[in-house]
Amino acid sequence: MRKFLILLLPVMLVAACDGKLGYEQGRPGDPPPFKGEWRRYGTMPDFDVLVNVDAISRDDRYAKDKYVYVWMLQSFRTAQIDGVSKGKYRKKFTRQAIECKSGRMAATTAVLTDENNAEVARYDVPGYQWEFSTPTPNTYGADFMRQVCQIHADKEAAKKQ
């Protein structure tokens, strides 16, 4: 009986996680939000950076989720070549997971599209492989994270009123 329970435990654990691991189970993550309130965050020589304000949120499906998620868009002025797929793309949608308390951020998804939003390539990073980094103080990355966390805090405060 004990051997049976030991063998059954991993099966039950996997079954309990059904639907919670998303692309860790071979399914792609959420698609980028092509519509919504995209705000220009910055302009670089080769591309513009936009942030989808509507997409700044926690994942409500998981009560213990401590991350704030945001989609950002790099809109390139000329076609770029993806190093892996070798496809041409003009837009790079990146989903970031931000831990506001620690000031750390990790890219979780990258979706490359052409100018008409047709997908060229998609790269999902399973949660156990997220590589968090802390942006250098007083840099573009640190300011980006601070602003996203503030927008999320303002949204949460507005919900409570």
Q: What domains can you pick out in the chain, each with its CATH number?
A: 38-159 (2.40.128.710)
Q: Cα(67)–Cα(130) distance, rounded to whole angstroms?
A: 12
Q: What is the pLDDT along the chain (161 residues), one digit of tens a residue?
A: 444 334 433 333 343 444 444 444 556 678 899 999 999 988 999 999 999 999 999 876 665 678 999 999 999 999 999 999 999 999 999 999 999 999 999 999 999 999 999 999 999 998 888 899 999 999 988 999 999 999 999 998 998 88
Q: Cα(159)–Cα(109) distance, rounded to whole angstroms?
A: 28
The pTM score is 0.78
Give the HSE-up count for residue 73: Cα atoms under 13 Å, Cβ half-sphere: 25
Q: How far is CA 92 from CA 32, 66, 88, 111, 134, in A?
A: 10, 25, 11, 6, 22
